[in-house]
Structure 1
Amino acid sequence: MTVALEELRTLRDTGRLAAGYPRVAALLAELTDTADRPDAETADELRRCGGLLARLRPQDVLAHHPDTPVATVAVTGHSGTAQLTDPLVAELARHGLLPRLVTGDHGAYLRDLTDPDSPLRRCGPQLTLCVLGADAVHDELRAPWTVADAEQAWHRLLDRLHAVAAAHHADGTGALVLTTLPLPRRLTHQIVDQQQRALLGAVWRECNARLLRLTAEHPALTVVDLDPLVGESGPATDPRLALYARSALSPAILSALAREAVHVLRARQGLTKKCLVLDLDNTLWDGVLGDDGPDGIACGATLRGEPYAALQRVAKQLAAQGVLLAVSSKNDPGPVAGVLRDHPDMTLRADDFVSVQAGWQPKDAALRDIAGRLGIAADALVFADDTAAERALVRHRVPGAAVVPLGREPARHVDRLLADGWFDTPTVTDDDRHRVRHYRAAADRSRLREAGGSYEQYLRELGIELDISPPRRHELHRMSQLSLRTNQFNLTGERVPPERMAALCADPRQLPLAVRVRDRYGDSGLVGAVLARRDGAALHIDNFFLSCRVLARGVEHGCVSALLAHARDRGLSAVGARHRATRSNGRTRGFYPSLGFVPRATDTGEETHYRHDLAEIPGPPGHLSVRADFEGDTDAC
């Protein structure tokens, strides 16, 4: 029994589990920080912890800790889903979420997902998970059956799933997760004609491919491909559970599916990590640089070096999709710089990293320094290290940072790094691909700021150009992504998934505006959005969010100034706005009052409504060049 499971049992047995819930995420993180334990053992321990936590009532936890984030998850499927509850509860709790599970009736997934009055639709889930197995096709076959019969059954299932996705797109909430259907041997080998057996495999894979392609039509839909999970975690089914419990998938696959489903939820709630911080010795290369010297380390195409070269290639692949790379290493800076510059076997070079912290300070301090230099929160970091003591230090002193346990076997480093999908995002945008370039430009700006002179002079020398207009169609995913990832300057803290952003843009009452910025050091691209709407003779700002990389340059003031001027020029009577306090946006509390907005006397609690009567409109900051077009071009949504 692990320490985590033992402590959870003690909390339960003493009636303190609800009061001690904030401790749960850390306990489960420690449980998964077992680099050299078999994954199956860790999954089994997580399931057992989930079984304890599943008995908790959310209201009991909230009575002690009202700010605990709650994740409402609806679960349904063609067959039984009871075996999914424990791993799903554990995965949600591991990521600091309080699970509220709503489970559909056995085999009633079509009603659950298409009837607006079904309990699963009425609960407004942030995530809906529909579990499918081969029985969704096989149950429609009558012996004797042919490959053609199986293909027709598959097509009927695809038609139903099209209807499910369409219903969710029309008026569903949150993300919808479907799964592909593994093809079990007990089905293929009922066909003794080997040519027909091969044809069944082809039909099955073609239909799974059609299911996966549904995601291109429905932004709220994710289809988890079970083939990689089966290949890594074991058999797709357990014959006893399949017959006696009507569970289409084995416990191992359900545990893996629970993990993947929570990755989807995290990504859609803006919990995607931004920066991968890597150790060097025995992480990016084999050996200790200080002891072995540059010639004694290995990271090339040799038996000794290949696992480390593989990790470097994966890190470079992640960086190409917008993941920032940094180094935290206890080494002298000079030799590290030399290896990054000159070592012939290195895949990663100095230019691949936005920060290299080589020195002898504690690694928790190094991580906080990296976050500060990048202007991101420390909980946006993922730390990968082969030393258990360093991982424990970071886990306890940098709350919220993810920790990747790299063990004694370097061949498993890549799997460990990718196991938790920390960088998963609904869509990779052009801005993601150019993120390193943006941070390089930020470093140039920092050097200009440090060159001396007043801050006002620095802003004038930047030559900031601000462009505000309705978004173009290709920019909707980026606007949604900003709402998911922006915390410090998000005036309501609300998230806007891609499908809702598209609906806002299609509504003639709405006035969504994209905020773009460039300066002498380059184009920062689309960095923010104002979500406004027309409300009779007034305009109302429902939300405003702006990337932290352009804060404190007057951009936020320039945006609202332009919107106020637009409302006045259109003869409107006022502009309303809303601010909702969150744990991260405290610095924005006085933003609207600083521009002449007056709070309404009826406001109470964390949400404040403001009104600007347009009598005196503040001009944009003098160092900004503002272009505002509230009509948009022909490509605007």
Structure 2
Amino acid sequence: MHGRPGARAMSQEAVLDLAAIWLRRAEWQPTLFANELRRLDLLKLEPGWPCEPFHLRIHRNQAFEFVASVLGPFLAFGGRRAEIAYSDYDDSLALHVEGRADVDLLWLDFERYRDRLAPRELVAWLLERVQSLRARSEAPILVADCAATDAAAQELNDGLRNLAQVVPGVRIVPLSQIGAELGARTFDRRAARVTGMTLSDAACLRAARALGLVWLPAALAPRLKAIALDLDNTLYSGVLGEDGPAGLQLTAMHLELQRKLLRLREQGVFLALASRNEKVDVDRLFAERPDMPLRPEHFSATSIAFRAKASGLREIAAELRIGVDALLFVEDNPGEMAVVATEVPGVKMLHAADPALTARALDFYPGLQGYPPGRDDLRRVADVAASAQREQAARSAQSPEAYLRSLEVVLTFATNRRADLERLAELSNKTNQFNTAFLRLSEAQVAKRLADPLCRTISVSLRDRLSDSGIVGALFLRQASSTLVADEIVISCRALGRNVEHAIVTEALRRALEELPASEVRFAFREGPRNGPARAFLAEYAGRAPGADGVSVSWDPGRAARLFERLPVTVVHEEGS
């Protein structure tokens, strides 16, 4: 590869393309994140970058085409393109749409059922239809709720939210929020004979934005894990080094921007600082400007120095133990964005040209919204904050066993617990370093395994004296004749520094083998871009490196007992439910 002529030139072209792509995306922001969307402006946007296709099936009784016609720019901003297959107009929701689906969308005009079904009856019927779809498809299912705001519509929408708790992998697209925002402008019933739908053009544009920037990206990919923020002319107006803390302007929209960032942090998204300033000046800023909602303790990582921000962003990602592709960089300087695009491929970026637009963008940026709240998300920030104390304990401990003893580690195992379904699917989809197979299991696929008598899915929670990390591991196991197959083992990077991988895997296997007896354990393995830790673990555990078919070991019933004789770890088992 190194000797091929033109390889360097191709690389330079690719670098230039990355910068151009992100600058072009920045130019799109005023159109995509506008308070009032304009169809003609949206139709002018043509991406000059490759977009990954996915298959979207629409099950409907009303037109979707007026939404689909402007869906493209919103999806393209996040690098995606929809290939859409439509059902006929069908009040019975027969679910007859040919072809595969990466996402299924139920797009219904609920007014067509009002004369026949009360809200509760309509929800019961829809539950049966969604369960039927789930039996045929493992893809995420989106159900658009009712955009009306009257009492009957509210009762219906409350029922739909309950429906989403019953069927795995179902999310409700809240058209009701659009109805609340637009009020009387939500519907255009006079045009319904022509358009085939009662929603107004303004409602269709907002629905396209919600689907293209929020709900479809959330159905297709894990959430972004961190936001790295510039300071000057981003979180306030002014330049700290020139204006001093007192000379910086904190407008109402800057305050709103900072409060939205705090709300994202409360949902488990890390905040970080990436600023070209002197640290002493930044310390003065926070000391002298108590009116700033964001405080130093809200940032899980910082890079404050007069150096390339690309280096700082890489260090922030490493400190948070995430990939740069899970990081959003918010910056006001297009030149800085271009450099970061070329030097840190994969990082996401948001141009902070205007605080009001930036604040609105946080409501829609792909990968930030549309995810169900998880109890383990809320623990993530506090858990990382405790990592410095753990590192200090590791440095001062005389041995790995002494380190574990000082932490007072407790591992809790639960088998086939349905309450853990969302977190199990999340771990399968988000974990990269300790992931043995990259199955990327959907909630529907996890639910099938939970119901299969030949499968055992074990969740592992971790806590120590410094923090409760919640569910950090999952083993997806299956009996095949005299072999127990570990189809996938995933352990969050937050657990890796505590040297509990052997304890997690060995105790989970021991428990599963009590119910699914086998003389051999086979670990499936698939090479990934960053799963070196998983490969190294399997090589150590089995005594040889995994091949294309994984690696097998004969099960020694005494292995767990010998391990826990020397590991000072408390093990707890909870019943699944």
Amino acid aligned to 2:276: K
- How far is the alpha carbon of 1:354 from its aligned partner? 0.6
Query: Partner of 1:215 in structure 2?
Result: 164
Amino acid aligned to 1:228: Q
Alignment of 1:370-381 (within 5 A): 370-381=316-327
- For the 8 Å contact 1:270–1:483, the answer to whether it is kept is no
Amino acid aligned to 1:216: Q
The separation in 1 between residues aligned to 2:391 and 2:375, in whole angstroms, is 24
- How far is the alpha carbon of 1:275 from its aligned partner? 0.9
Query: Partner of 1:595 in structure 2?
Result: 541
Q: Provide, for residues 333-365 of structure 1, a one-character-per-residue CA deviation record: whole Å limited to 9, x for no partner.
A: 112123324522122211111123222222222
Pick which of 89-98 and 483-492 moved more.
89-98
The separation in 2 between residues aligned to 1:309 and 1:51, in whole angstroms, is 33
CA distance 1:511–1:94, shift in 2 (3 Å): same
Q: Provide, for residues 201-248 of structure 1, a one-character-per-residue CA deviation record: whole Å limited to 9, x for no partner.
A: 433444344334432333422221224335668944567863334244
Q: Provide, for residues 86-119 of structure 1, a one-character-per-residue CA deviation record: whole Å limited to 9, x for no partner.
A: 444444443334544322223467012xxxxx33
Query: Partner of 1:125 in structure 2?
Result: 101
- For the 8 Å contact 2:147–2:178, the answer to whether it is kept is no
1:614 maps onto 2:555 in alignment: yes
CA distance 1:23–1:510, shift in 2 (3 Å): farther
| Counterpart among 59, 65, 70 of residue 76 in structure 1 | 59
CA distance 1:358–1:233, shift in 2 (3 Å): farther
Query: Partner of 1:318 in structure 2?
Result: 264
| Counterpart among 461, 471, 477 of residue 422 in structure 2 | 477
Query: Partner of 1:226 in structure 2?
Result: 175
1:549 maps onto 2:499 in alignment: no
Q: Provide, for residues 46-102 of structure 1, a one-character-per-residue CA deviation record: whole Å limited to 9, x for no partner.
A: 54557999xxxxxxx9xxxxxx96522212311222334344444444333454432
CA distance 1:590–1:221, shift in 2 (3 Å): same
Alignment of 1:386-465 (within 5 A): 386-408=332-354, 410-424=355-369, 426-449=371-394, 464-465=409-410
Q: Provide, for residues 546-576 of structure 1, a one-character-per-residue CA deviation record: whole Å limited to 9, x for no partner.
A: 1012225432233333355567778632112
Query: Partner of 1:30 in structure 2?
Result: 24
Q: Structure 2: which 5+ residue stretches go unaligned?
A: 1-13
**SS at 1:432 equivalent:** helix
Query: Partner of 2:111 in structure 1?
Result: 137
The separation in 1 between residues aligned to 2:282 and 2:472, in whole angstroms, is 34
Query: Partner of 2:5 in structure 1?
Result: none
CA distance 1:44–1:159, shift in 2 (3 Å): farther
CA distance 1:161–1:29, shift in 2 (3 Å): farther
User: How many pairs are equivalent?
Assistant: 556
1:562 maps onto 2:507 in alignment: yes
CA distance 1:182–1:151, shift in 2 (3 Å): farther
The separation in 1 between residues aligned to 2:368 and 2:128, in whole angstroms, is 31
Query: Partner of 1:96 in structure 2?
Result: 79
- How far is the alpha carbon of 1:533 from its aligned partner? 2.2
- For the 8 Å contact 2:461–2:472, the answer to whether it is kept is yes
Question: Could you tell me the percent identity over the aligned residues?
Answer: 28
Alignment of 1:126-205 (within 5 A): 126-133=102-109, 136-138=110-112, 150=115, 152=117, 157-183=122-148, 201-205=150-154
| Counterpart among 536, 542, 559 of residue 481 in structure 2 | 536
**SS at 1:119 equivalent:** coil
Pick which of 568-577 and 276-285 moved more.
568-577
The separation in 2 between residues aligned to 1:80 and 1:352, in whole angstroms, is 45
The separation in 2 between residues aligned to 1:256 and 1:566, in whole angstroms, is 50
Query: Partner of 1:144 in structure 2?
Result: none
Query: Partner of 2:458 in structure 1?
Result: 513
In the superposition, the TM-score normalised over structure 2's length comes to: 0.83
**SS at 1:481 equivalent:** helix
**SS at 1:438 equivalent:** helix
The separation in 2 between residues aligned to 1:82 and 1:28, in whole angstroms, is 29
Provide the aligned C-alpha RMSD in A: 3.8
Amino acid aligned to 1:242: A
Q: Provide, for residues 481-538 of structure 1, a one-character-per-residue CA deviation record: whole Å limited to 9, x for no partner.
A: 2223212222121233445434433433222212233345333332111111233333
CA distance 1:109–1:459, shift in 2 (3 Å): same
Pick which of 200-209 and 232-241 moved more.
232-241
- For the 8 Å contact 1:137–1:154, the answer to whether it is kept is no
The separation in 2 between residues aligned to 1:356 and 1:293, in whole angstroms, is 20
- For the 8 Å contact 1:576–1:609, the answer to whether it is kept is yes
Amino acid aligned to 2:108: L
The separation in 2 between residues aligned to 1:87 and 1:29, in whole angstroms, is 21
- How far is the alpha carbon of 1:373 from its aligned partner? 0.9
Amino acid aligned to 1:119: V
